[in-house]
Structure 1
Amino acid sequence: MARAATAARAALILLAVSGVLISPAAAEIKQEFFKDDPRGSILFEKFGFGPHGMVSVSVTGARPSSTLAKPDLSQLGFFLLSDEALFEAIYEQPPPTDLNPNPESSPNCVLSSPYVIPLFTFADLDASGHYNKTFPITHPDEYSLFFASCAPETKVTMEVRTDMYNTNLDGTKDYLSVGMASVPAIYAFFAVCYVAFLAGWLYITLYRNRLSAHRIHHLMTGLLVARMLYCISAAEDQYYIRTAGTPHGWDIMFYMFQLVKGVILFAVIALIGTGWSFLKPFLQDKEKKVLMVVIPLQVAANIAAAVVGETGPFLQGWVTWNQIFLFVDVACCCAVLFPVVWSMRSLRESSKTDGKAARTLAKLTLFRQFYVVVIGYLYFTRIIVYALKTITNYKYRWVSVAAEEVATMAFYMFMFYMFRPAERNQYFALDDDEEEAAEMALREEEFEL
């Protein structure tokens, strides 16, 4: 029994560490079947409850089996655990007594910890292994719903349905966590912004400067369309989850446009970094290899994101899928920076031979600015936004969504403005005085290096 309880706590530690990766944007109705599952702890959902929060758990066909003695049904059950009480529940030991002077030799099962909110155990199941009850949340907070098994060498077969929601004043259910209720409106607002952005961009590329537009500008148009459709599908997805508990098929559209906009975004960054289309009409072999790496990685990252988002932490291998998602996303972020570095190196070398110092300096300055902004954007959306999700109070989780969308809009506006089609751009509209000044600037820069 002690060994099983220790294993359950070890599994709880692993889920606690990986649980910070969960974005509690949607606690839609979940239903999952477990067949001979040996895990000591299973994390189902994390949800922020308000004053009228409810959690409903329905278990069907529950059947524990053990290679040892018949398992104690009171050692298997469901409970809620807040982040504040997480580590106390993991590391809490029973007080010493006359009969047990060394409490570490027989650690308590987490189900009996005073730091958790027990819901029910398998001892409460009926003869057919069924249990269904809705529990009110008396203390508003963000809780994680766990299943724990402290019975030694025990496997569990069961079908579980979970509903976590807040009740509005009019009696309707809100399936979005507290702090995420405004997310559908945020995505809808940015969808409108991208519609206006796209209209302005089409006016510039197809009407005012259509003769100066290159293939890269048409690909950038596709990026705007993909981002706009992504925001629309995200708004619909979150709206239906909030009101009905299920996305009504919008999750498929959401993941599809998430894939498309991710692939196009990294392709545009890489192609702009190479100077393709507006500086040179071809790609070198090493630049083609970057695209051949980035695009499959983005597809893999979005498949991992779909698995993580559409199933949940109760999936076996969920932590592995999270690791895959993080790894390939970081790999893409690193890969798209190489073409920018190569272009800057090529421009610096050409400045010594082509006799067009001003043009070269203008290009070099632009690519430096682009390089810095790309690094800033990737750092903000991967590190700062993630930090906001983890440290912000659960009532204000919408801030991380808004921050990411604001940063993305700002990055798009910078990129589209700097690389817009124009008849007279800063590469070519240069006079003799600017040429001489640029030559001196390049010489001084080379001297400093």
Structure 2
Amino acid sequence: MAANSGRFFSLLTLTVALFFATTTTVAEIRFKEIRSDDRSTIPFDEFGFTHNGRLDLNVSQISLSNPNPHIRTNPDKVGFFLCTRESWIHVVDQLRDGEIACPIDSDVVKQLFAFNQLNGTDRINTSFKVTDSNQFSLVFTNCVPFLRVSMNVQSAMYNLDAKSGHRDYLSAGKTILPSIYFVFFLIYATIICVWLFILYNKRLSVFHIHFFMLAVVTLKALNLLCETEDKSFIKRTGSAHGWDILFYIFSFLKGITLFTLIVLIGTGWSFLKPYLQDREKKVLMIVIPLQVVANVAQVAIDESGPYGHDLYTWKQVFLLVDVICCCAVLFPIVWSIKNLREAAKTDGKAAVNLMKLTLFRQYYVIVICYIYFTRVVVYALETITSYQYQWTSVVASEFVTLGFYVFTGYNFRPEVHNPYFALDDEEEEAAAEALKLEDEFEL
């Protein structure tokens, strides 16, 4: 009874994993080694199939061992099956009500292979047709108490094109991602050309920060190009062929430069002052290592698949680090306003700088909205959107990011009369006078 209870709670744990598994991971050919594992359920991968879906399953070096000689090994209770998230919840209900003794016996799952079909061999090499359009998870179940299983599992999930018959290793909701990323790459390439034209024509009013902006946009474009090639190769072959490495490199550089740019703009570096205070430097020294950790976590999440080892831990690390980075870049802005407000009471020049920073408030609001949307709203879209439309969260995130880049470039473009950069003499006097009146009113 205790063993059955333990297996039941293990099934409940898998249900939670199925529910909370991120849908951002794209499927590909995966290989996993299982060694002396006695878990009742082991999820492997998740994929959105069309009506022309296929699953190639290659299991080798299968070994079964039971340290309890009094329990008979029943191989028909050990095997692989496919199930949707909804059907898995129904399976758990059936187990709880005693209708079935093992998930592989349920009528709501697609049984693929039970180990009683091995016929004395230690390997499985077979292909299955999936004609039901839905998102399925490949799951291994072991309903024999204390039975330990060792095996090497290679799975390949893909859809066949109805006309050409070519394999598509991207999930049904992700198959158009290469085209989406390439369109956004072309948009950013156009922005780079426009920005270079602006820098050349306004070269007398160009600051160092404008070249830094150019670097950020360039890295974003290269990141999109690598992601296009990464998804294209996965779509055709099931493997990224090294493009994922370049993608991670440019993602890392893009993340660091973007956070650094927000800090530099928020503190007024280059166009308000040519230096950073010690506290602002410390923020950058904190943000950059945290971005390293965040990118390591992202690599671990992407490469391990939706049910990888320690996936939940890596997700928590990534979320925590990302939140810390987002909060940290806002601190220098607050410090700068506070310090300038205090200095402005006695320093007319500081009063002008305070007015300049006051003009940044709109930008600060946009930064917060950008962070909130890309971290919270996009995740919500991934969770609630049907598997066929998983691409919509990517489009939403890229459009918001594009809007943020355009807004930043437009408001901080090199311009002699740009209010973010300069105030004329009359505005300087008005700023100082306004602060004096404010102090008198407070008194």
- Using the size of structure 2 for normalisation, the TM-score is 0.91
Matched, 1:186 2:180: yes
Distance 2:281 2:160 in 1: 53
> Where does residue 228 of structure 1 map in the other structure?
221
> Where does residue 99 of structure 1 map in the other structure?
none
Structure 2 counterparts to residues 35-54 of structure 1, below 5 A:
35-54=35-54
> Where does residue 302 of structure 2 map in the other structure?
309
> Where does residue 98 of structure 1 map in the other structure?
none
Q: Which amino acid aligns with 2:65?
A: S
Structure 2: 5+ residue stretches without partners? none
Change (3 A) 1:71 1:285: farther
Structure 2 counterparts to residues 21-420 of structure 1, below 5 A:
21-24=22-25, 26-69=26-69, 71-93=73-95, 95=97, 103=98, 108-169=101-162, 170-205=164-199, 207-355=200-348, 359-360=352-353, 362-420=355-413
Once the two structures are TM-superposed, the CA of residue 357 in structure 1 deviates from its matched residue by: 8.1
> Where does residue 12 of structure 2 map in the other structure?
10
Instruction: Say if 1:344 and 1:367, in contact at 8 Å, map to a contact too.
Output: no
Change (3 A) 1:155 1:271: farther
Distance 1:293 1:128 in 2: 55
Distance 1:251 1:433 in 2: 52
3-state SS in 1 of match to 2:158: strand
Once the two structures are TM-superposed, the CA of residue 286 in structure 1 deviates from its matched residue by: 1.3
> Where does residue 414 of structure 2 map in the other structure?
421
Once the two structures are TM-superposed, the CA of residue 429 in structure 1 deviates from its matched residue by: 3.4
Deviations along 1:80-106, one digit per CA (max 9) or x if unpaired, are 1212223222333365xxxxxxx4xx9
Once the two structures are TM-superposed, the CA of residue 23 in structure 1 deviates from its matched residue by: 1.3
Distance 1:176 1:288 in 2: 43
Distance 2:386 2:234 in 1: 22
3-state SS in 2 of match to 1:80: strand
Distance 2:354 2:228 in 1: 44
Deviations along 1:129-187, one digit per CA (max 9) or x if unpaired, are 21122111132111111222232233321111111111112211111111222111110
Of stretches 182-191 and 137-146 in structure 1, the one that deviates more from structure 2 is: 137-146
Q: Which amino acid aligns with 1:23?
A: T
3-state SS in 1 of match to 2:173: coil
Distance 1:138 1:146 in 2: 18
Once the two structures are TM-superposed, the CA of residue 120 in structure 1 deviates from its matched residue by: 1.5
Distance 1:147 1:38 in 2: 11
Q: Which amino acid aligns with 2:352?
A: R
Of stretches 298-307 and 357-366 in structure 1, the one that deviates more from structure 2 is: 357-366
Q: Which amino acid aligns with 2:217?
A: L
Alpha carbon RMSD of aligned pairs, Å?
2.5
- Using the size of structure 1 for normalisation, the TM-score is 0.90
Once the two structures are TM-superposed, the CA of residue 421 in structure 1 deviates from its matched residue by: 2.5
3-state SS in 1 of match to 2:56: strand
Identical residues among aligned pairs (%): 44
Change (3 A) 1:62 1:349: same
Q: Which amino acid aligns with 2:326?
A: C
Q: Which amino acid aligns with 1:84?
A: E
